[in-house]
Amino acid sequence: MRTVGVEEELLLVDVRTGELVPVAGEILRESDDQITGEFLEQMIETRTRPHATSQALRADLLGSRAEVAARAGDRGAVPAGLSTSPLPTRGVVRPVERYGRILEAYGALARQHLTCACHVHVEVADEDEGAVVLDGVREWLPALLALSAGSPFAGGEETGYASYRWQLMARWPSGGPPPIVGTAEGYRALVDGLLDTGVILDRGSLYLDARLSHHQSTVEVRVADVCPDVRVTVLLAVLVRALVETVAAHGSTVDGAAVRDRPLAGTTTLRAATWQASRAGLTGHLVHPATGRLAPAGRVMGDLVTFVRPALVETGDLALVEEGMGRVLRQGGEATRQREVLRRTGHLAAVVADVARLTVEGA
């Protein structure tokens, strides 16, 4: 069974005011291997270990969130699974040499950068298998974004997007959907070509929605918003693992049956599909990978589960996914939930407090 791990980027907030608190440097410790700093002092990143079961993954996520909450609480802050800041704010860049180079290279784009994502790592045998997997999962990335979309507010306003974070990340020169790479050599040529331009600073600056990890043998799916509800994080992770397993074993067929009636989408078409997922989330229509045409989000999600069903049965995650997917679709996704909190309370600060509560609930 392939292992799966998760990296979560969380904002540090004051639940009374909804404002961000720049205390990451104060709560980090040299001995940390699962809690690290990020670009801004108002952000923290947690990293689980690789896990074979959803239960172990969930426990690891909750443990890391609880540890961050305990440390941050001593400084008047709490972690919140917010992918953008609902309230206006200015980020405080951590005094790290690499971050200084990013500021110099990208100007206002870097100064205005305040986004948090959920990155799912699934083990692969090697780069050859990883390249096959990247090409096979790429058209399902918009569906994974829609599933996780939870950033409708940014800088004090309703953006009109379920995931405004993706819109912000897509502005970076290496952001957005991955192209078709074909082979490990094709993937290396893609990365080396970008490095040769000098436009990206290093391999860590490859901000594609999915990539091969440059420091471990995993496919890293980076398209998702961070999820305050840990159940959705686990749902996302096991779906990504099932996608990787399905594509690695069967390519574009399952049990000999074709799952598409057209060639793989080009990067421009896939960018449009991801833009649509960012806009609509789970309450509208998504571009269906099999047809290239719009279909209700519920149908696309149902077909995703059908596509990976044998892999979910093998890992014992089918019941978790069916229950979790049903719950999220009934709710309408995290963006819908946050909009309802604002409608009920009238205050974006209440949205921040509610997300913070959900992030550490049970931890």
| pLDDT tens by residue, 23-82 | 999 999 988 889 999 999 999 999 999 999 999 999 999 999 999 999 999 999 999 999
Q: What pTM does this model have?
A: 0.95
Average pLDDT taken over every residue of the chain: 94
Structure confidence at residue 204 (pLDDT): 87
> Residue 317, class by beta-carbon neighbours within 10 Å (0-12 exposed, 13-18 middle, 19+ buried)?
buried
245 band by pLDDT with thresholds 50, 70 and 90: very high
Say how far apart CA 271 and CA 176 lie, in whole Å: 7
Query: Rounded CA gap, 186 and 162, in Å?
Result: 33
Q: Does the pLDDT of residue 208 top 60, yes or no?
A: yes
Q: Is the pLDDT assigned to residue 195 strictly greater than 90?
A: yes
- Give the confidence band of 206 by pLDDT, cuts at 50, 70, 90: very high
* Cβ count near 361 (within 10 Å): 12
CB of 45 closer than 8 Å to CB of 9: yes
Candidates 216, 244, 255, 207; CA nearest to 129 is 244
Q: What domains are there in the chain, each with its CATH number?
A: 4-360 (3.30.590.20)
| Chain segment 318-341, per-residue pLDDT in tens | 999 999 999 999 999 999 999 999
How many alpha carbons lie under 13 Å from residue 276 in its C-beta half-sphere? 24
| Contact indicator for 320, 234 with CB cutoff of 8 Å | yes
